[in-house]
Amino acid sequence: MTDRFGKVAVLFGGTSAEREVSLMSGSAVLAALQGCGVDAHGFDPAERDLCALRDEGFERVFIALHGRGGEDGTVQGVLETLRIPYTGSGVMASALAMDKWRTKMVWAACGLPTPRYAILDAQTDFDAVAAELGMPVFVKPAHEGSSMGATKVVEPSQLRAAWELAARYDRLVLAEAFIDGAELTVPFLNDRALPVIRIDAPGGNYDYEHKYFSDETRYLCPSGLDAALEDALKRLVMQSAAVLGCRGWGRVDIMLDRDGRPWLLEMNTVPGMTGHSLVPMSAQAAGLGFGQLCIAILEGASLG
């Protein structure tokens, strides 16, 4: 048993739509930490009051909750109040990263590349948006974990219907210039970016449904990109995290267009941590096993 971290709670489950994934992430993290000799205990905020963490003498918290009420700054705020150090981003950065629109505004203001966009609502002149962004556009709900209502729109006349669909999932809906090219995702761990993962959809088809519901999707890590580009992407990822105020760990989704230019899509502050998730895959390529990855994330636990 290592007493380096004291008594550690792994928060998992919770009440968000991503509860099931969180249960898988949290169980994997819990088993890995225990396997490394950490005095780790599972804790499901859907079943117990977070104040019990203080009463039971927990000294650190590993947050493995995805989506609202875990990834959005609210649990982070409770832990700040209880003065218990926790993994990952703090209150402000967690809340900001949860909102794709405001995240894009910060990136754009800092000169970081993110696709051009418009906010859609009932008053929108859809033809004007189509003309401004050009076709195709990608319409999506603006909040993390609500990817269900996304559509690739190829005809201006389809834009309103795409908005109506996305609006069923979220009050805030984005239309983004569609980036045709390779899909990448890049984790960061404390002060460094981990190897780039390239997501290869079947037949070069980047169609949304295809990508998420096909077994043929391949995840390439090492990415096969040239070393200079890989380094540039890693620097971009660290900048994109720094300007949002993210810390500890996270994962940035990026599109690489046909000219090799990267476009930032979104920041995930508590990405999946099951055995076959993307962050563990990238860490493995950097020589960090799942247990070592969990320990490194826990080492980054902090307050404020």
Ligand X SMILES: Nc1ncnc2c1ncn2[C@@H]1O[C@H](COP(=O)(O)OP(=O)(O)O)[C@@H](O)[C@H]1O
**Site for ligand X, rule CB under 6 A:** 115, 138, 140, 144, 147, 150, 176, 178-179, 183, 208, 211, 253, 255, 265-266
Query: Does 99 engage in binding with Mg ion (CB under 5 A)?
Result: no
- Alpha-carbon distance of 62 to 41, in angstroms, equals 10
Q: Which does 71 bind (CB under 5 to 8 A by kind): ligand X, Mg ion, none?
A: none
Residue 266 is labelled as binding a ligand: yes
Output the six-digit token pair for 280: 């563990």
Residue carrying structure tokens 């990952």: 88
Least separation, in Å, of the C-beta of 9 and Mg ion?
A: 27
Burial of 230 (0-12, 13-18, 19+ CB in 10 A): middle
- Alpha-carbon distance of 193 to 48, in angstroms, equals 35
- Alpha-carbon distance of 225 to 293, in angstroms, equals 24
161 — phi, psi (to 5°)?
-65, -35
Can you name the residues that pair with 8 across neighbouring β-strands?
40, 60
Q: Which residue is nearest to Mg ion (CB)?
A: 253
Q: Which does 176 bind (CB under 5 to 8 A by kind): ligand X, Mg ion, none?
A: ligand X
- Alpha-carbon distance of 244 to 57, in angstroms, equals 32
- Alpha-carbon distance of 293 to 189, in angstroms, equals 8
Name which of 10 and 186 has its Cβ closer to ligand X.
186
18 tagged catalytic: yes
Name which of 60 and 140 has its Cβ closer to ligand X.
140
146 tagged catalytic: yes
Residue 44 is labelled as binding a ligand: no
Output the six-digit token pair for 2: 């290592």
Q: Which does 62 bind (CB under 5 to 8 A by kind): Mg ion, ligand X, none?
A: none
Residue 299 is labelled as binding a ligand: no
277 tagged catalytic: yes
Q: Which does 115 bind (CB under 5 to 8 A by kind): Mg ion, ligand X, none?
A: ligand X
Binding site as annotated, residues for Mg(2+): 253, 266, 268
Binding residue ranges = 253, 266, 268
Residue numbers of the site for Mg ion (CB under 5 A)?
253
Instruction: Give the residue numbers annotated as catalytic, written as ranges.
Output: 18, 146, 277
